[in-house]
Amino acid sequence: MGANVSFRGREIDSIPLKRGLRGMKDQGYKTATISWVGPIAFYYREARARVSRVFWNYEKLVEEK
C-alpha cells in the first residue's frame, strides 16, 4: 500500500487501509496480518496495529582472492 507523497500526512492516506480492514471484518476475519510495513507509527495510529515479528536483512561483502 502506498500513498502519493502529496497525500501523506492527511486523512486521505488512511482510506485504503481502513476500507481494506473494514472489508475483512465484514467477511468475518478477526485479525489481519500486514507484512513488511512501514512506517509502523502510521499503522499504529490508524489501525492500532502492533508489531508481532521483525525481519532483518543482512549483507556481507565478500572479497575476491
Encode pLDDT of 1-52 as tens digits: 677 777 777 778 788 889 999 999 999 999 998 888 778 888 898 889 888 8
Phi then psi for 40, rounded to 5 degrees? -60, -35
pLDDT computed for residue 53 by the predictor: 83
Query: What stretch of H or E contains 3?
Result: none
Looking at residue 31, its pLDDT comes to: 92
Tally of residues, the chain: 65
User: What is the reported pLDDT for 23?
Assistant: 96
- Give me the long-range contacts of 34-43 (CB less than 8 A, separation at least 24): 42/13, 42/14, 43/17
Please name the amino acid found at residue 51.
V
Place of cell 508489531: 51
Is the pLDDT at 61 greater than 80? The verdict is: yes
